[in-house]
Amino acid sequence: MPLVGVSVAIKGTSSGTVTDAKGVFRLNLPTGEETLIFSSVGYKTQEVAVAKRTNFLVQMEDNDAALDEVVVVGYGTQKKVSLTGAVAPVDMKAIQQLPVGSLSAALQGQLPGVNVSGGTGRPGDNGGITVRNPIVLAKDGGTVRPLYVIDNVVRTEDDFNVLDASEVEAISVLKDAAAAIYGARSNQGVVVVATKRGKAGAPKVNYSGSIGITDAIRLPSMMNGYEQATYLNDYYRTQGKPANDPLYYTQDELDHFRNNNYNWLDMAWKPATLTRHAVNVSGGSERATYYAGVSYNYQNANFDNINANKWTFRASTDIKVTKNLRAGFILSGDLSQRRMYYLKQGGENAENDMRGLLYTSQFNPPYVNGLPVLQPGGNQNNLESFHFFEIQRSNNYTATRNTGLNVMANLEYDIPFIKGLKARVLYSKTMDNSFGKQYGTRYNVYNFSMLGEHRHIVGGDIVGNPIQLRNGDQIRLNPGYVDSYQFNGYLNYDRQFGKHHVSGIAFFEQSERRTDMLAGLRENPIIGGLDNMRYATGAQTAEETETEAGTLSYAGRINYNYDDKYLAEVALRYDGSTNFAPEYRWGFFPSLSLGWVLSEEPFFKNGVSFVEFLKIRGSVGLSGGDATKPYNWLNSYSIQVGKGAVFGGNSDRPLGVVPNNIMANRGIRWDDNMKYNAGIDAQFFRNRLSFSLDGFYDHRYNMLTALSSSVPLTVGATLPSENFSIVNGFGFELSLGYSDKINKDWSYKINTFLAWSDNKRIRVDVERGKLGTYEDPTGRSTDMGLQGYVYEGMFRSQDEVDRYLEANPGYTIFGVVPKPGMLYYKDIRGPKDASGQFTAPDGKITKDVDMDFLTPKEDNHYNFGFNVSTTYKSFTLAAVMGGSFGGQAMVEGSARSRARPTVNRPSFWTDHWTPENPNAAYPDPFYEDSYSVASSFWFRNSFSFAMRNLNINYALPAPVAKNMGISSMSVFLVAINPINFYNPYTYKTYQGAYDSYPTIRSFSLGLNVGF
């Protein structure tokens, strides 16, 4: 069959052509002794020596490189063509150059069924990964995060995120029964990582670095001082205040605010920088190879004195000791530091910097004559008097420093008397140290006499003495130490018997983990003193916490492959965990997966020419979840002074052991999750088009649940979790890819995916009074939609109110007779009767009674990705785009609330109802009780679609690089969050709360050099 568009190039030159519709090409050759290079998407590249020939035939061979790709799985690797489970490998080339602070953030938008939240906001925010539809109902240690495994050793999420992409060889996400090989810790999926190792050959050195700038995609839009004062005047008018009431802002004050506005956030916010550098070297001989690498990442914040940085290093060697014995050694470490403000005033919350800056009224200046202003009317103990700039100037901070060291050694021995059998042992030791410090002081602010007709303008003389505000007023130290190890012994078997390929692994795994944490505190640090406990005069306390835990596992797996057509995998794991009582400590976790490669069948090969590969696969397996607080099966006690027994008279009471108010549950065990998955993988049109479809069903039972709603109120103790709930999860994941060449210089690739997931609660804890009502969650998803009131309209005039009351006599809204400027809602039901059932609609809107679930879903359950890349000669452009839909967004509660003289609100409130503006978009500010509730009035479209990153790369031509004495060089420009295609909000960016640190956009320029 003739092939059109095959690229034909003269080796060593830039000259070439392409074949026509008949597969024919014509090319003038200088000597006739040249070598031609033939290449086309879906076929192997071939070199053909011309040897003076003027006419010859070239037979192109299918390129199954994508199918021959090896991916990491649990405790090993497999060819992609042989996978029978839902295993998603990461394209490492797509994330190598991304200037993000964590691997989690780098994976955003890369894989179907793998969701990443956060990671591109405040420095040090790593983001979080979830796989498919995670569910947790326990209160003690439950997690929706997957298990992380690095080089066959179970590690923490922080260990994963501290890795630099330059030191990672491969990442795979196990989404179905493929995760069951990890037993009692695998119910939320598994992220498997293989780091880079040395390769035989001359030393190769690679450097990758970038520097960039960051800024907010968009800062929230708040009312300016003039707008807020006008808003408050309208509020007072509806309230009925007389025209001369001093609460009103007079015209001279409004004119002053119009010309003197103080946007505290704009004053504090500035562009920031980020940088990343990584260098590594590898090489060796056939007997020994080595790899070493170091990386550095730094990002400062858009507020002064906030930053995050990390260093990592990794060194490994693999040695062939004898013909049958090999040894490997890895030494790795990291240092990460993060600094934020210590914000205790108004309650400790890392987001109080943004909230304080946003909520502060913009008619109030931060300083008058260089002195900090106490916000007029503010409560000195909360955010209303929060002075960001003075806390910043006082160097109040929360800082963390973490250091980690991991040593790993392994030995592998080929057993000579059994062909294909290997024995291997692995030992890993991890030592982590953490040090946290919080420093909060008192700081001075000043009262000033007020100017203006009604005394609303700050700027007169100082009144009284300075006022001290307390921002925690303490120094807190939190040093900690974590010591853990893992020891594995393996037997691996791998043999080919004609068309039969059999492989297997049997192993044991033992691990222990010990922590020792100290919490020390001293109050009243001296103002102006050092940030050291010696410079504090108040009470001093200290508390130490130690924990220890361990696991022991026995597991095995057998893989069978007949002629690359019939595939099977069986795995078993027997897990024991000290989290549970001895009689409930052990669990058995089996799994089975099967695959059938139809495209290898003779009837298929001969009958379907446009399909190169077609595989059907299915899996079932039992996973567990043991992420709960250890030793909940034991009663706990505290030692207290003066609580001991009294023997005779009034003698001093010694130490006493007092039971804590927490009940033990000896019968608890891990969550169970029976995972089912069915999938199809296919390649079409000479491997140009790829297709993958997975459908999954997770039956979660014995779920650890914090029962609080369905127990008597008179228990008198905190109840432990119980294995109670049943929740079924389900969904699908569809992926499509297409790659091709336009000509010999221009190629492109498109990858898209669509994923959906949901769940159904079969048995759960139901709150008292909700059983059998519209709020009963039984038989419904954990996402039951947005709950609120059904908005029917806004009263625009008194005539409209009168007509409505005539048609609906007695109608009230939360006990208030309707007024112009109020929102009104649908009457759904009446109060409960004596039997606890709701009655028929009663013509009134009653708080809580007339609420309903307004939408099928709140969250977006559909996620999609659209990733494209194209290469033209030495230039490559790649874009990762994605979004979600299917839910319903709503304006946040704080944005719905009214503004006050001491609290600002978003700018949309400028278009509120007044008699002069009856067609306003928003209600009269005075009727807060009626409009601040959740209702369909506040709905916004939850659809999101954005470009997550854009990478433009130029690679220096190989001959030019060679002349420069280097093997390769490229320069690149990377943008993170460069474009948002849709935003339903007028006052904030499309994701995250408006009063939290905004999502960041960055632009970085980088360089890659290989020697």
Q: Give the rounded distance of the alpha carbon of 264 from its chain centre.
A: 30
Instruction: At 145, list the tokens.
Output: 């995060």
- Nearest-Å Rg of the Cα atoms of the chain is 33
Closest CA to 238 of 837, 816, 879, 891: 816
DSSP 408-464: EEEEEEE-TTSTTEEEEEEEEEEEEEEEEEEEEEEEEEEEEEEETTTT-EEEEEEEE
- pLDDT, residue 730, reads 96
Q: Are strands 566-577 and 70-73 parallel, antiparallel or unpaired?
A: unpaired
Non-local CB neighbours of 793 within 8 Å, separated by 6+ positions: 823, 824
CB atoms within 10 A of CB 706: 18
The CA distance from 361 to 901, in Å, is 7
Q: Give the rounded distance of the alpha carbon of 41 from its chain centre.
A: 35
* Helices vs. strands in the chain: H and E counts, helices first: 14, 47
CB atoms within 10 A of CB 38: 21
Non-local CB neighbours of 197 within 8 Å, separated by 6+ positions: 169, 282, 289, 291, 316, 318, 328
**Which domains are present in the chain?**
1-62 (2.60.40.1120), 66-199 (2.170.130.10), 790-850 (no CATH)
Kindly give the parts of the chain with pLDDT less than 50. none
- Give exposure, 945-967, as e/b (b: 16+ Cβ within 10 Å): bbbbbbbebebbeeeebeeeeee
pTM of the model: 0.90
Phi, then psi, of 141 in degrees rounded to 5: 85, 0
The CA distance from 1001 to 978, in Å, is 6
The CA distance from 796 to 916, in Å, is 11
Reported as a single tens digit per residue, the pLDDT across 435-449 is: 999 999 999 999 999
CA dihedral (411, 417, 419, 421) in degrees, to 10, reads: -30
The one-letter code for the residue type at 743 is N
- pLDDT, residue 127, reads 87
Q: Give the rounded distance of the alpha carbon of 1001 from its chain centre.
A: 17
The CA distance from 8 to 26, in Å, is 9
The one-letter code for the residue type at 430 is T
The one-letter code for the residue type at 252 is D
Q: Give the rounded distance of the alpha carbon of 501 from its chain centre.
A: 40
The CA distance from 78 to 76, in Å, is 7
The CA distance from 977 to 989, in Å, is 12
Residue 167 DSSP symbol = G
Non-local CB neighbours of 715 within 8 Å, separated by 6+ positions: 663
CB atoms within 10 A of CB 429: 15
The dihedral of CA 686, 687, 688, 694: what is its sign? Answer: positive
CB 556, CB 505: distance < 8 Å: yes
- Give exposure, 893-906, as e/b (b: 16+ Cβ within 10 Å): ebbbebbbbbbbbb
Closest CA to 40 of 22, 23, 27, 57: 23
- pLDDT, residue 714, reads 60
DSSP 827-846: ---EEE-TTS-EES--SSB-
The one-letter code for the residue type at 699 is H
HEC string of 862-894 equals EEEEEEEEEEECCEEEEEEEEEEECCCEECCHH
CB 278, CB 164: distance < 8 Å: yes
**Which 3 state secondary structure label does DSSP give 176?**
coil
Q: Beta partners for 314?
A: 293, 332
CB 250, CB 452: distance < 8 Å: yes
CB 387, CB 295: distance < 8 Å: no
The CA distance from 313 to 306, in Å, is 24
Instruction: At 183, list the tokens.
Output: 């037993």
CA dihedral (610, 613, 616, 617) in degrees, to 10, reads: -160
What whole-number percentage of the chain has pLDDT above 70? Answer: 95
CB 859, CB 841: distance < 8 Å: no
Look at phi and psi of residue 228 and say left if phi exceeds 0, alpha if psi is from -120 to 50, else beta. alpha
Instruction: At 212, list the tokens.
Output: 């960039």
- pLDDT, residue 44, reads 75
The CA distance from 236 to 247, in Å, is 8
Reported as a single tens digit per residue, the pLDDT across 141-183 is: 678 899 999 999 999 999 999 999 999 999 999 999 999 999 9
Residue 111 DSSP symbol = S
The CA distance from 231 to 702, in Å, is 54
The CA distance from 128 to 146, in Å, is 10
Helix H or strand E encompassing 554 = strand 540-562
Q: Beta partners for 481?
A: 433, 516
- pLDDT, residue 21, reads 72
